[in-house]
Amino acid sequence: MKLQPITPFLGIEVHDADLRKPVADDDFATLREALNQHSVLLFRDQTLSEAEHVAFSRRFGPLLTHVLAQFLKPGFPEIYVLSNVVDGGKPIGNHKEGWNWHSDLSYKAEPCLGSLLYAIETPPEGADTLFASMYAAFDALDDDTRDFIRPLRGVHSYSSYYGKAFADRTPLSSEQKAAVPDITHPLVRTHPETGRLSLYVGEDVVSGIEGMEGPEGQVLLARLNAHAVDSRFVYRHVWQPGDLLIWDNRSTMHRATPYDDVKYRRVMHRTTVAGDRPF
């Protein structure tokens, strides 16, 4: 394998890797370290079956299943399908998912370590994914802001996010809501493997700041979100079929971008690696 930086602040493209084959332990250790330091790994020109996608994902840790079970791949519940395709009158995957800045499953008590998204069908234009380095965003804050936010905790709410993002859909069931109660996490997160500090915020899914329920909290949250996604810290990934992208949710935020979903099809498969409680 050959490793090539994508940007100075985020991302490594991995060349000469065929993920259908088992990755040697030494090579996997190199990949894990690259992910810890650079937050995003890109593998192009892959031809993975569902089983191969799941098997490689499991090298990073136990896999999680999504609360929206209707969009899980039949036979492979570890794979969450993102798509606008309708088959037999039913959508095969979730559409318009993640069009806000977020870190996957941050609304869980133990959010995920990372996600592995594999491109099956991609539009020829649009549907890019933006990634922001939360390492770089935290490092760029002034000292006073860093000191002020270190003890603060954000309120992460999937119910709040779902109500805003999918207002035109059937509301979450009581069982689904019970599975994702609101949770608080620190605004400044310590990476458990590198010890580096990063911002841990998000649009919509972070509904407020604990102990700052008034306008002051919303103003601070909006300021931190705007800073976190400044163009200085953002990489835009233009998808091609066969791309596998791995990102570290402990040190990044990301968001999808729109495309002509009437003219074009999009089919993406995502696996999600279990993580631990932020500190």
Res 172 pLDDT > 80: no
Structure tokens that stand for 248 in this block: 């570290």
Under 8 Å CB-to-CB from 143, ≥6 apart: which residues?
none
Q: How many whole angstroms from its chain centre is CA 34?
A: 17
Alpha helices in the chain (DSSP H): 25-38, 50-58, 134-139, 143-149, 158-165, 174-179, 215-228
- Candidates 185, 191, 227, 270; catalytic one: 270
pTM of this prediction exceeds 0.75: yes
270 is catalytic: yes
Of 234, 225, 235, 227, nearest in space to 205 by CA? 225
Res 165 pLDDT > 80: no
- Candidates 53, 66, 102, 189; catalytic one: 102
223 is catalytic: no
104 is catalytic: yes
∠ Cα 239 244 248 (to 5°): 105
Q: What is the mean pLDDT of residues 119-146?
A: 98
Is 279 within a domain?
Answer: no
Q: What does 96-149 look like in DSSP terms, one character per residue?
A: STT-S-B-TTTTSSS--SEEEEEEEE--SSS--EEEEEHHHHHHTS-HHHHHHH
Q: Which of 63-77, 150-164, 217-231 has the lowest mean pLDDT?
A: 150-164
Q: What is the mean pLDDT of residues 131-139?
A: 98
Q: Tell me, what's the pLDDT at 67? A: 81
Number of H helices, E strands in the chain: 7, 19
Res 219 pLDDT > 80: yes
116 touches 271 (CB < 8 A): yes
Q: What is the mean pLDDT of residues 171-185?
A: 85
pLDDT tens readout for residues 196-208: 999 999 998 999 9
φ, ψ dihedrals at 124, nearest 5°: -70, -10
Is 278 within a domain?
Answer: no
Is 74 within a domain?
Answer: yes
39 touches 252 (CB < 8 A): yes
Q: Tell me, what's the pLDDT at 255? A: 96
Q: Tell me, what's the pLDDT at 176? A: 79
Res 156 pLDDT > 80: yes
147 is catalytic: no
Q: Find the domain containing 185 and state its range.
A: 2-273
Rounded distance, CA 90 to CA 72, Å?
13
Res 63 pLDDT > 80: yes
Task: Name the pLDDT band for 98 (thresholds 50, 70, 90).
Answer: confident
- Candidates 254, 255, 266, 269; catalytic one: 254
Q: Which of 96-110, 138-152, 172-186, 217-231 has the lowest mean pLDDT?
A: 172-186
Q: Tell me, what's the pLDDT at 204? A: 87
Rounded distance, CA 15 to CA 43, Å?
7
Task: Name the pLDDT band for 232 (thresholds 50, 70, 90).
Answer: very high
pLDDT more than 70, % of the chain? 100
- Count of domains forming the chain: 1
Beta-bridge partners for 129? 237, 256
Is 59 within a domain?
Answer: yes
- Candidates 38, 53, 104, 250; catalytic one: 104
Res 179 pLDDT > 90: no
- The CATH number of whichever domain residue 186 belongs to comes to 3.60.130.10
Is 66 within a domain?
Answer: yes
Res 193 pLDDT > 80: yes
- The SS3 assignment for 268 reads strand
